[in-house]
Chains A and B, each alone.
Chain A
Amino acid sequence: GAVVSQHPSRVICKSGTSVKIECRSLDFQATTMFWYRQFPKQSLMLMATSNEGSKATYEQGVEKDKFLINHASLTLSTLTVTSAHPEDSSFYICSARTGRASYEQYFGPGTRLTVT
């Protein structure tokens, strides 16, 4: 149980285009989803927290107009990187959390974004 998937696993896009990454909780309802970014040889950095049906809360330094997050249902959250630039190339990881018990977080496999 508690499986989180991401799609796509890898994406290459040209500078200036937008890319959408999907995060799904496959066997549970996720009231909260988190988006992390990880640069090579660095730790995971939290970008934003989203609750189903409400606006995402962004961490300091993360541009909300550049990283659009939609959490329209209890099993799906999307991250859209708008007008991507090479410096946005990174490993993006989502995490989903149930709304009950110990509020455990479950992680997706990650999406490798390369902007050329």
Chain B
Amino acid sequence: DTGVSQDPRHKITKRGQNVTFRCDPISEHNRLYWYRQTLGQGPEFLTYFQNEAQLEKSRLLSDRFSAERPKGSFSTLEIQRTEQGDSAMYLCASGTSSGNTIYFGEGSWLTVV
């Protein structure tokens, strides 16, 4: 049973650099979600896809953030011109449009120095 996998697990980058995270959902899941979590907080919704369509984006997702799911399978989350405030854990989750439960990956830690 393969769950949601995320890569890389940890990323340290210099301010101003671009970073990209990848998420592979559970294979039969057509919905994929990105969340951001900072220390001491719960996950905050960023965006979600149904198949390859990006159906909703949070206002938290500034113009420097872009997410794609080109073939309706894996997804990437790119952050351009990183800022120190982007330091957080980026969580991916997947689920189905007929179900009401989402399952999370282990997360990708981003540290911007």
* A and B: interacting chains: no
